[in-house]
Structure 1
Amino acid sequence: MLRKAKISDVKDIQKLLTNYASRGEMLSRSLSELYDAIRDFYIWEEDGRVLGASALHIVWEDLAEVRSVAVAEDAGRRGIGSQVVGACLEEARVIGLKRVFCLTYKPDFFAKFGFKVVDKSELPHKVWGDCIKCVKFPDCDEIAMILDL
């Protein structure tokens, strides 16, 4: 079931993200950061278990980021990632955003939604606030992509 995340989901979301962060595939998120951003998240839940998560983080009046996209490894290839990202994009449209970006190692996944690869320099400096926490900073090897809504 797709739904907005609740406070009670935070620790499960963190477990999902930590699995990927430990491999250098995304930024880790502290519990504090997740509680602060809980309203940004959609989750996919089955039988009381959080199997997928994604967040829509608003950056500016016309720009947001889809981030923290994670699916439990034993639930992959079932469309859960597409469901949670799709919910973020629908919300972006509803609230009137013009563009959504992502930083990813999975460009083919985001291309299915219409995201296009762009040079990172095209993104405003404001989007790099979280990057300072990354072990790969300043030599980021993620791919920047943008979707015009």
Structure 2
Amino acid sequence: MKRFHLNLTVRDLDRSVAFYSTLFDQEPTVKKDDYAKWMLDDPFINLSISTRGDAAGINHVGIQAHDDEELALLRERLVKADAPILDQDAVTCCYANSKKAWISDPDGVSWETFVTHGHSTSYGEGTDAVEAALKPAATKANKACCGT
């Protein structure tokens, strides 16, 4: 079963952990010095927060697959979206080892589809390379459509 994913950049991790723990009436599933994650069943979401982004707010959204087969089906949908896809077959990001496929929507919002294959003791690569790879295509499409 797929789970919605939302990644937020926050300014003060401790304040944000307290806020979201109160909102969800649940402590984070993962808590590090720069990162926290809730794997909630109601609502069915993987919410992660981190101090690693440039500006506070939504960093990216996504869909977490249950297994590799489900991820392959999600990737087929990305192909049909007719936008550049960035595949990451084995990446460490957000204290997890994952396989991912990324795409940007027409307005430049980064969408991550992924399956997690275990935990990591390091934060890993993060999403900076993804942003750099995907944003130019979305920006170019927007300029071509709307002008400057």
Query: TM-score if structure 1 supplies the norm length?
Result: 0.33
Flag the structure with higher helix content: 1
Query: TM-score if structure 2 supplies the norm length?
Result: 0.33
Flag the structure with higher strand content: 2
